[in-house]
Structure 1
Amino acid sequence: MKSLFAAEERVSKLSKRGDPLESLGRHVDFAALAASVDRALPRPHRYFGGRPPYPTELMIRLLVIQQLFNLSDAQLEFQVLDRASFQRFLGIRDSGKVPDRNTVWAFRERLVQAGLGASLFDEVNRQLQVEGYLARCGQIIDATLVPVPTQRNGRTENAQIKQGETPEDWSAKKLAHKDVDAPWTEKHGKQTFGYKLSASTDCRYKLIRTVHISPANEGDQIHLLKVLDRNNTSRDLYADRGYTALAVLEAGGWRQHIQRRAKPKQALSATQAGRNRRIARIRARGEHPFAGLRALGGKFLRSVGLPRANLQLHLKVLTYNLKRLCWLKNNEVVAF
């Protein structure tokens, strides 16, 4: 049966079913996110004509959708044309102009060149604080490896890359497809080619407060100091056996709850094992954000180079935080 109000009826049913994008649009100030981008990367002038660029807020919303549903640029374009919930979230239900895959790629490349991933992440954290979700009850520091497409290079080429050189026979087109920033590293006997993401998660709300992205072979101890959240209201710091207590943190008044590692041929004492279990109960909350990132497709990147990986992972983490914020709001987790 035909209905003149079919579109409105379907949208109403989406709202009743609990459209996550509707919740996202209600709780997040995307205009502020767009303003932070426009301040650092002013929109191009059109004094000499040409098609005006799409609004920055629309493009930011597109990138959030892309991260939330782990879509390629081509799939993002298709899904925006096809899905009513996407069109409502973007505010383009009555518009015939939709950003295509090339527009999305070009906008993301502008963000990469300007290095704005951290700025967007900081703006999201500012909104979390405005909502009252301050970093409380201590922090959990952990790291995860993020693989990227493996490079098939010869031994000579790999030796030149390690020395910071570019093989002479590589054309500009070939170099654009080669990731010379990502190294190999080994963890638990498994080789991984890619980058490392370290994060500090607050124990109270399980929101990621600070991040650091680097080549995969950079040590966890270096990351520990770089992701330390000095705005947390508690001085408690939790970490697994991969980290060791640092004198500089102890001198700064930090209470380091780091699990003990057994020495070769010497098992942990009952007291040490019990301490590890007590820390593990709290530290397990720091694994939940990484599981959330994995659900968003954050455990593998389809990009080339550290700058692009930096932006992609910052977008992935801020999307997790926005999704977590909506959950806290919808489940009435009171900020205090």
Structure 2
Amino acid sequence: MMFKILILQAWYGLSDEALEEQIARDLMFRRFIDLSLSEAVPDHSTIWRFRQLLNTENLLEPLLEQINHHLEQNSIIVSLGSINIIDATVIEAKQSRKRKGRNGNNTQDPEADYNVKIAADGKRKTTCGYKMHANTNEDGFVKKMTYIPGNVHDSKEFDKLLGKQNNKVLHRAYRNTSLTDRQKQENKQRSSIRYIVERTFGLLKQHHGLAKARYLGLERNKTRAQLIAMSHNLKTGMNIIFLNKCEV
């Protein structure tokens, strides 16, 4: 039940307190988590402790793998011949600017760091925050992900995201070397594929609030991002099932 509660939280972008209130008054939420009207709603502190437990016990990555395995077993995720589309997105820190609090201390997130990139208009854009790297397939399912401070180079996450798989589509930062003319031509041909991971990041930010960190510190925000990735995969799977039924 508690894991279902966290999936609801990721789907709707609710705080722990708002989630507790929503479960208390929404029959659909209760039905989803199998909680009867006579049963007490877990309070926000219980929700927080369970989420922290998943992180401290290192259960979140195995849970993502288990969800993906279940989707694969039900022919929703197709792994045979699947490609790996790897990219990163910048996430602004909850406290991204240097400001003094009431006690005079800096309130900026101490574990976040600055990322500098060239925007579409050619101007440099600097963001204090984190980066989420993801390996997705052609349908936008998140297969693997990492979450790091914004100043870490993308190439350092490559092996973690790809593992032993060889079929891949990369953004140039992961190569960490200059591109040959042939590689540049391949990049143009693959641009129609690479947009998939960019679309996935767009969905995570627009519908799940991933554009801005909710907490201070890397681990708590990483936990949130992992749960959002799981909820995204489940929602994507449900959409595929619905579309398949409509076509029958």
2:90 matched to which residue of 1?
145
Equivalent residue for 2:221?
A: 309
Q: TM-score, normalised by structure 1?
A: 0.62
Give the corresponding residue for 1:134: 78
1:112 maps to what in 2?
55
1:322 aligns with 2:234: yes
Opposite residue 310 of structure 1, the aligned amino acid is: K
Cα distance in 2 between the residues matched to 1:69 and 1:225: 32
Contact kept, 8 Å, 1:117 with 1:310, in 2: the verdict is no
Identity of aligned residues (%): 27
Question: Cα distance 1:245–1:128, how it changes in 2: closer, same or farther (>3 A)?
Answer: farther
2:212 corresponds in structure 1 to 300
> Aligned residue for 1:214?
148
Q: AA paired with 1:309?
A: N
Distance 1:242 1:152 in 2: 26
1:196 matches 2:107:
no
- Structure 1 contact 194–215 (Cα < 8 Å) conserved: yes
- The separation in 1 between residues aligned to 2:220 and 2:208, in whole angstroms, is 17
Structure 2 unaligned segments of length 5 or more: list them. 119-123
> Displacement of 1:178 after TM fit?
6.6
Report the equivalent of 2:158.
224
How far apart are residue 229 of structure 1 and its match?
4.8
Query: Secondary structure at the residue paired with 1:185?
Result: strand
Q: What SS does the aligned partner of 1:242 have?
A: helix
| 2:234 counterpart SS class | helix
Query: Kindly tell me: are residues 91 and 221 of structure 1, through their superposed partners in 2, closer, same or farther at Cα, counting changes over 3 Å?
Result: same
1:272–1:200 Cα change, 3 Å: closer
Query: Offset of 1:274 from its aligned partner?
Result: 5.8
Q: Is the 8 A contact 2:91 2:132 kept in 1?
A: yes
SS in 2 for 1:75: helix
Runs of 4+ displaced beyond 4 Å = 151-154, 271-275
Q: Which amino acid aligns with 1:317?
A: A
Task: Give the equivalent residue in structure 2 for 1:124.
Answer: 67
Measure, in 1, the Cα distance between the counterparts of 2:154 and 2:28: 41
Show the counterpart of 2:34. 91
Do the aligned partners of residues 313 and 91 (structure 1) sit closer, same or farther apart at CA in structure 2, a change above 3 Å counting?
same
Equivalent-residue separation in structure 1 for 2:129 and 2:46 (angstroms): 27
- TM-score (normalised: structure 2): 0.83
Q: Distance in 2 between matches of 1:308 and 1:182?
A: 12
Higher Cα Rg: structure 1 or 2?
1
Do the aligned partners of residues 272 and 317 (structure 1) sit closer, same or farther apart at CA in structure 2, a change above 3 Å counting? closer
Render the CA deviation track for 1:244-298: whole Å, top value 9, x for unaligned.
277xxxxxxxxxxx9x59xxxxxxx8x8876443211111122221122112112
Which residue among 171, 177, 191 is the counterpart of 1:240?
A: 171
SS at match of 2:174: coil
Q: Structure 2: how far apart are the matches of 1:105 and 1:227? A: 28
Any idea what the Cα deviations from partners look like across 1:37-59, whole Å, max 9, x if unmatched?
Answer: xxxxxxxxxxxxxxxxxxxxx11
